[in-house]
């Protein structure tokens, strides 16, 4: 069981990212420019917020606090937020823009990796929740910004009376 958790915690995220690329290119390729722009914006803002969160919240990794060895190799830096979970949350957010049903699958995969990293003793649950929180905040800001931009564009194109 530990070897499965170790795999999920350390390497599975790479398969999820690859799967997301295949899904986007296979099913949503007509929306590729829109999803690529959304991905850059959501990833950039999420990354900036994660840097801010890292500076504001200190959360030593569980294996440092307890002295119990983790299941996988890990950095000894601040554990908040979980970078693996943040990355997969960003992927899930972009997929959600294309299809909320498919997005739910990717949110579930992100949660699976996050929980595996908790079980592997390289993150606390708060680190995983924090990553989801950051991405969800950024996704909300993106959706509001997109809606405002679309209204503005519509007003610019509308005939002036």
Domain boundaries, the chain: 2-157
CA distance 64 to 61: 5
Per-residue pLDDT of the chain (161 residues), as tens digits, is: 899 999 999 999 999 999 999 999 999 999 999 999 999 999 999 999 999 999 999 999 999 999 999 999 999 999 999 999 999 999 999 999 999 999 999 999 999 999 999 999 999 999 999 999 999 999 999 999 999 999 999 988 877 65
CA distance 63 to 77: 11
Question: First-to-last CA distance in the chain?
Answer: 69
CA distance 151 to 135: 24
Residue 16: how many other CB atoms lie within 10 Å: 20
User: Would you say domain 2-157 falls under CATH 1.20.144.10?
Assistant: yes
pLDDT at 156: 87
| pTM listed for this prediction | 0.94
CA distance 16 to 22: 10
């Amino acid at each position: 069981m530990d070897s499965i958790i170790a795999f999920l915690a350390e390497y599975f995220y790479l398969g999820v990212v690859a799967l997301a690329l295949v899904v986007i290119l296979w099913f949503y390729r007509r929306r590729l420019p829109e999803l690529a722009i959304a991905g850059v914006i959501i990833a950039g803002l999420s990354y900036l917020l994660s840097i801010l969160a890292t500076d504001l919240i200190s959360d030593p990794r569980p294996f440092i606090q307890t002295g119990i060895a983790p299941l996988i190799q890990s950095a000894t830096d601040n554990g908040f937020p979980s970078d693996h979970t943040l990355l997969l949350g960003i992927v899930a957010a972009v997929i959600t823009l294309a299809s909320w049903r498919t997005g739910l699958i990717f949110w579930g995969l992100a949660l699976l990796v996050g929980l595996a990293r908790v079980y592997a003793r390289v993150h606390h649950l708060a680190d995983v929740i924090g990553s989801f929180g950051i991405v969800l905040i950024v996704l909300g800001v993106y959706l509001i910004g997109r809606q405002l931009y679309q209204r503005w564009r519509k007003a610019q194109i509308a005939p002036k009376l």
